Amino acid sequence: MSELSQRGSPLEGSVLVLNRFFMAIHVISVRRSLVLLYRDLAEVIDVENGQYMNYSFENWIELSHLMAEQPRPEDEVIHSVSFAIRVPRVLRLLDYDKVPKQTLRFNRRNLFARDDYTCQYCGDPFPLSQLSFDHVIPRSRGGATSWDNVVSCCLACNSRKGDRLPAEAGLKLLKKPVRPKQNPLLKLKLDNPKYESWRSFLSAGQFALEVSGE
Ligand SMILES: [Zn+2]
Question: 4 pLDDT band (50/70/90 cuts)?
Answer: very low
Question: Residue 36 above 80 pLDDT?
Answer: yes
- What CATH number labels 108-169? 1.10.30.50
Q: What separation in angstroms does the CA of 56 have from each of 1, 47, 132, 137?
A: 19, 15, 43, 53
**194 C-alpha vs ligand 1 centroid, how far in Å?**
32
Instruction: Indicate the burial class of 88 (C-beta count within 10 angstroms; 0-12, 13-18, 19 or more).
Output: buried
pTM of the model: 0.72
Question: Residue 123 above 60 pLDDT?
Answer: yes
- Residue ranges of domains in the chain: 2-102+184-208, 108-169
Q: What length does the chain have? A: 214
Query: In this predicted structure, which of 120-129, 165-174, 192-201 has the lowest mean pLDDT?
Result: 192-201
User: Facing residues of 46 across strands?
Assistant: 53
Inter-residue contact 43 to 111 (CB < 8 Å): no
pLDDT digits (tens, 9 = 90+) for 73-92: 778 888 877 778 999 999 99
**160 C-alpha vs ligand 1 centroid, how far in Å?**
9
**153 C-alpha vs ligand 1 centroid, how far in Å?**
6
CA distance 89 to 15: 5
pLDDT on residue 142: 96
**173 C-alpha vs ligand 1 centroid, how far in Å?**
10
Question: Residue 134 above 90 pLDDT?
Answer: yes
pLDDT on residue 2: 41
What is the enclosing helix (H) or strand (E) of 172?
none
Question: Residue 197 above 80 pLDDT?
Answer: yes
**141 C-alpha vs ligand 1 centroid, how far in Å?**
22
The beta strand positions in the chain, using DSSP E, are 14-18, 24-29, 42-48, 51-55, 77-79, 84-86, 90-93, 131-135, 150-154
Strands 150-154 and 14-18, sheet pairing: unpaired
**149 C-alpha vs ligand 1 centroid, how far in Å?**
17
Q: Is the dihedral of CA 147, 18, 206, 30 positive or negative?
A: positive
Question: Residue 214 above 60 pLDDT?
Answer: no
Inter-residue contact 102 to 206 (CB < 8 Å): yes
Give the residue among 88, 40, 52, 63 at the shortest CA–CA distance from 201: 52
**197 C-alpha vs ligand 1 centroid, how far in Å?**
37
Question: Residue 163 above 60 pLDDT?
Answer: yes
pLDDT digits (tens, 9 = 90+) for 52-76: 899 999 999 998 988 877 777 778 8
Question: Residue 1 above 60 pLDDT?
Answer: no
